[in-house]
Each structure stands twice: as structure tokens, then as C-alpha cells.
Amino acid sequence: MAAAVCLQNVHKVYNGVPVVNDLSLVIENGEIFGLLGPNGAGKSTTIRMVTTLTQPSQGDIVVAGYDVNRQQLEVRRQIGVVLQQTSVDSDLTVWENMEFHGRMHHIPHTQRRRSIDTWLDYVELADRRDDKVEDSV
């Protein structure tokens, strides 16, 4: 059985500045793993690469047997992640934020719109769908 997560010689460079430099690690299925380090050590960038939110500049990352660069949808189907930062854009409306996340998860257009409307009704926010998130909280 393949490892849950495997990183081999992973690098990430932003604007010529190395953020992650030659990281290799294996997390086995069922293993509990903590990624620790000081601010700026590349922890969040590493998680963003593993979860397909950004691509490595170099190296290979495989999650549940799927390559994060070539099989992003399959990787996303295998994982669940809650990031520190908020996942909403305060410049968008409630409905636009939901639409964006539906697109990111490749939910088909018609199903996505129907689902957004259904959930807004369910949580009693249909009347706030056109409010910007910062005004709605």
C-alpha cells in the first residue's frame, strides 16, 4: 500500500526567494504527523502544496497514490483540510464566495447553482446572498 503522503526533493520559490528547500518526507497511512517550525519556515507553503493550492517549483508530491500536479481533483477527493486563514473573500458576496468554492471543487454549473441556493435556504441566509461577507458576519 502506498504512503498517505510522500514528498521527494520538494522546492518552492517565490520571486526568486526559496521558501521550501529540498524537503523530503513520508507519512504512512494511519500515522499521526505534526509539521512544526518557526514563522517563515515554510509550513503553510508545504501544506498548500500538499493540498494542491499551489504547485511546487521542483520535486514530487504524492497523496494517497495521486500526483498533486497531474491529479489535483483525485488528491482533493482524498483529503480534508482546515487552514488557519479564512476561506472567504470579503470583497465577494455570500453567493459569489460559495460559487467560487464550488468551482474549485469542480461541481458542475447547474448542480453548483442549485446546491448554493438550497444551502442558503437551509441556513436561512437566502436573503443575504448578495451581501458582501464582511457586511454579513
Q: What value does the mean pLDDT take over residues 88-112?
A: 85
pLDDT category, 23, cuts 50, 70, 90?
very high
pLDDT category, 59, cuts 50, 70, 90?
very high
Q: What value does the mean pLDDT take over residues 31-51?
A: 90
Q: In order of start, what are the domains of the chain with their CATH numbers?
A: 5-78 (3.40.50.300), 94-136 (no CATH)
CA pair distance 63, 78, nearest whole angstrom: 8
Q: Does pTM surpass 0.75?
A: no
Residues 64-96: pLDDT tens digits?
999 999 999 999 888 877 665 566 777 788 998
